[in-house]
Structure 1
Amino acid sequence: MQTPDLTIADRIQARLDTLTRAERQLADSILQNYPASGLGPISALAHDADVSTPTVARMVQKLGFKGYPEFQSDLREELKAKVQSPIAKHDTWATGVPSGHMLNRFTDAVIDNIRQSLAQIDTGDFDTACAQLADTTSRLHIVGGRITHTMAEYLFLHLQMIRPDVIHIQSTSNTWPHYLLDVKPGDTFVIFDVRRYESNTLKLAEMAHQRGAKIILFTDQWRSPVHRLAEISFSSRIVVPSAWDSATTTLLLVETAIAAVQDLIWDDTKDRMQTLEDMFDQTKLFRKFT
């Protein structure tokens, strides 16, 4: 079995330049319904991708596996990891707990997550996403889930100061039709969805996509089902020695995007922020020491 540091999706992305045309076609098919796509017989995977069985066997070996059974074994382990509850995650971590203080162990895990996540990110995709976020000709909608709503709120608060027409969609699905009512083709949805993926989030993404919206997804290394609808997906590694997943890498991407968007439209942003500061002064919201 392969090292757990890299998912099969990571391995595919890292080797795209070495794949033949047929193998790229196969890789795209695998990623469309990842990781469940490779759990059936090798002939079924070949049929779904419209390639030959030998093509599947060759690409599996290029990914570092001895054969299709070993490839499937890793996929099954990834599928288990996607649906783990906090209790199961803690039990898995505790059985192999390394020595050292929690501060060091946790920090080492987070740094490793950041390093591996950034190595997999396409800078062109990141620049395109930031340009979309900075495009004031269309509205921007931001939504998170049960846990990720905090990152959605953080991004919303900053982008609302940077540009107009930013909408924070609340996590309760019974209000979504009201938000979707005025969505126009070309609007952008930023969606946060990590493992134990929420069915309501996928439904919202489907409805927004049907109305012509572009989707930017922040997800984890196993990738939310929303990635099939997203124009751009950012997969962050989230595993740390805890019953809970880490949001550090995702937050790093979010804060970097905020800085990039601010720079792209700084002249307008500066005026907007000055107006906001004047309002703060009028309300005496912040204490002044001069």
Structure 2
Amino acid sequence: MTISDKILAARDKMTPSERQLIGFLLDDYPIAGLGSITELAAKASVSTTTITRMLQKVGVEGYAQFQVALRGELKEMISDPIAKRDMWKTDLPEEHILNRYSRQVLENQKRTLDDIDPDEFDSLCDLVCDANRTVFVAGGRITSTLAQYLYLHLQMIRPNVRLLPMTASWPHDLLDIKKGDILIVLDVRRYENTTLAMGQMCYEQGAEVILFTDQWRSPIHNIAKLTFSSRIAAPSAWDSMASILVLLECAIARAQEQLWDTVEARTDALEAAFDRTKLFRKFV
């Protein structure tokens, strides 16, 4: 577990001053905890005793250990592919890649799903199914493929779904965003400036921001109405997106059932268009 995972798991045991400290830490995590204990106390408007007490409740022995853990997490957050591979390669057992890689990916999926709050997931689906809201979908250099996948399915499920392009023209699309619309944004380490700018601009225009990210959490989480963190580390130079894909497919399946009458009508119209264009091969 990351330090933020431990903090969130112990939140219910915290006093009001400790929760104030937690809020400050998580708003700029992990950077907020990298200064001295007196600097953190002053910025969070709490005592150093409050910091020590909070750390004890989350199972961290002291402030020095806390900072060592934060620096380790920061290193992972900004790791490039070569650094990721170096981190894994010394610990890899001698077994086939099918076993080694798939076991970690399945464990990622299990831990991701175990950490999801069902009520928050239901809130996501209710927002997506609200026909009065336009849904904008955006991703980064790698996650744009997942954004495209989600967009195509949501477009079949309901009207008014827009995909923000990975080109310089994306600000044009935000001219149409209005208060109450939704931005679903995907952003994983190393966290891209473009996706952050998208999130900030949509938030400033009154949109509800929904973030799919990793266990370290994109800075976008500070403005997100809902944040879904997935485990993505795998024995490879590149992260695994499988856990995020599972969550997206769960949301697609729920939205499809919730809006089935609309889905059925739109699917009939889409199939008629496919027949006219002869997109799919006919065997009879």
TM-score by shorter chain over 0.5: yes
Deviation at 1:119, TM superposition (A): 2.1
1:183 is the counterpart of 2:183: no
Distance in 1 (alpha carbons) for counterparts of 2:80 and 2:40: 29
1:123 is the counterpart of 2:115: no
Q: Deviations over 1:74-103 (max 9, x none)?
A: 000000011111011111111222232111
Deviation at 1:282, TM superposition (A): 2.1
Between stretches 101-110 and 150-159, larger displacement belongs to 101-110
Cα RMSD for the two superposed structures: 1.1
Matched residue, 1:241? 235
Q: Deviations over 1:173-228 (max 9, x none)?
A: x2122101111101100101100111111111111111111100111111111111
1:73 is the counterpart of 2:64: no
1:282 is the counterpart of 2:276: yes
The number of residues matched between the two structures is 284
- The correspondence for 1:136, drawn from 127, 131, 135, is 131
Matched residue, 1:201? 195
Distance in 2 (alpha carbons) for counterparts of 1:237 and 1:139: 29
Distance in 2 (alpha carbons) for counterparts of 1:19 and 1:105: 39
Deviation at 1:49, TM superposition (A): 2.2
Distance in 2 (alpha carbons) for counterparts of 1:57 and 1:102: 43
Aligned residue for 2:169, secondary structure, equals helix
Matched residue, 2:93? 98
TM-score by length of 2: 0.97
Matched residue, 1:59? 54
CA contact (8 A) 1:10 1:120 kept: no
- The correspondence for 2:217, drawn from 195, 213, 223, is 223
CA contact (8 A) 1:156 1:166 kept: yes
CA contact (8 A) 1:133 1:140 kept: yes
Matched residue, 2:261? 267
> Could you list the runs of 5+ residues in structure 1 that have no partner in the other structure?
1-5
How many percent of aligned residue pairs carry the same amino acid? 50
CA contact (8 A) 1:37 1:45 kept: yes
Distance in 2 (alpha carbons) for counterparts of 1:145 and 1:20: 38
Matched residue, 1:12? 7
> Could you list the runs of 5+ residues in structure 2 that have no partner in the other structure?
none
1:145 is the counterpart of 2:144: no
Letter of the 1:162 counterpart: I
- The correspondence for 1:38, drawn from 33, 36, 46, is 33
Matched residue, 2:207? 213
